[in-house]
Amino acid sequence: MYQKVALIGLGLIASSMARAMREHGLVGTITGHARSAETRETALEIGLVDSVHDTAAEAVKGADLVVLCVPVGAMGVIAAEIAPHLASGATVTDVGSVKRAVIDAVGPHMPEGVHFIPGHPLAGTEQSGPRAGFATLFTNRWWLFTPLENTDPEALARLKSLVEAMGANTDDMPPDHHDLVLAVVSHTPHLIAYTMVGVADHLRRVTHEEVIKYSATGFRDFTRIAASDPVMWRDVFLTNKEATLDILGRFTEELFMLQRAIRMGDGEVLEDYFSRTRAIRRGIIEAGQDTDAPDFGRGPKKDA
């Protein structure tokens, strides 16, 4: 579908894309760039890319698809670096979890004749780095696009065909609405997870040993989310500030309501609230976005 794909940033998403594209024979050659020399060496060693480059500018030369897989805060700097080296007719997309900030940072640098199509795969794990990826990461996961007013329909259709061939479902969404939706389904839950782990760390009446020993409960799942890349999430919250603060405000209101119900012994309010929210979990399973298997589908650990 593309002759040459350049992956700028070689973490979980980029490495999963490379594996999926190779497994399905979707592209010709894959080049890559990462800031860390160790990451570049690893990507080449495990065959993730055909060539790896010290600079993003070198990696994008001759590419008909460029994918920006760096933290949102670095997008503008990378866009400025690669702009003079982009091939005419090339498509540039990204995998950032925030879209308005990426459009504002990258868009002004895109030269005439280059198709900039912001995107975001709603897939991931708490792992990072070139070894963390796997070809099935995008299977039955949503890949959202926020096309600009002048987006070329053929370029968009071609890009969608690529990610659909990797197993993803695609949809279009206005960038500001995307950022609000993601504040609800991803950004705020991550912030709450970081907060809960932080609370446990500061609660001196519960020892670290107890937290770790008895974490096979809800706390375990908080720690899984809170293990995500801190640089990536720092940039997410700084660039999706308004939507995240809006949802946090609503979360605080709900929390106060639950605090009052617990304090007043109002079991009816609690049961009604939990029943309504439980239905959302059932809907997620019915939509195929998770499994109802025990331990969230993790199953027993396999022997190494």
Residue 291 confidence (pLDDT) above 70 = no
**Rounded mean pLDDT, 210-230:** 73
Q: Which of 46-60, 73-87, 180-194, 271-285 has the lowest mean pLDDT?
A: 271-285
Residue 241: predicted pLDDT:
92
- The domain locations on the chain are 2-173, 177-288
Residue 300: predicted pLDDT:
42
pLDDT in tens, 81-132: 999 999 999 999 999 999 999 999 999 999 999 999 999 999 988 788 999 9
- In our burial notation (b when 16+ CB lie closer than 10 A, e otherwise), range 285-300 reads eeeeeeeeeeeeeeee
pTM, full prediction: 0.82
* Structure-block tokens of residue 228: 């995500």
- Virtual torsion, Cα 161, 163, 164, 168, nearest 10 deg: -160
Residue 215 pLDDT class (50, 70, 90 cuts): low
Of all residues in the chain, the percent with pLDDT exceeding 90 is 70
The length of the chain in residues reads 304
- The residues, any chain, with a CB within 8 Å of residue 198's CB and separated by 6 or more, are none
**Rounded mean pLDDT, 5-32:** 97
Residue 125: predicted pLDDT:
81
Residue 295 pLDDT class (50, 70, 90 cuts): low
**Is the Cβ–Cβ distance between 30 and 67 less than 8 Å?**
no
Residue 293: predicted pLDDT:
60
At 70, the amino acid letter reads: V
Residue 304 pLDDT class (50, 70, 90 cuts): very low
The DSSP letter of residue 266 is -
How many CA atoms within 13 Å lie on the side-chain side of 261? 15
Domain 2-173, CATH class in plain words: alpha beta
pLDDT in tens, 134-157: 999 999 999 999 999 999 999 999
What is the greatest pairwise CA distance in the chain? 67
pLDDT in tens, 175-198: 999 999 999 988 888 888 888 777
CATH number for the domain whose boundaries are 177-288: 1.10.3660.10
6, 42, 95, 137 from 33: Cα distances, Å: 8, 11, 15, 21
Residue 197: predicted pLDDT:
78
**Rounded mean pLDDT, 214-231:** 74
Residue 263: predicted pLDDT:
94
Residue 186: predicted pLDDT:
87
Residue 289 confidence (pLDDT) above 80 = no
> What's the whole-number average pLDDT of the chain?
89
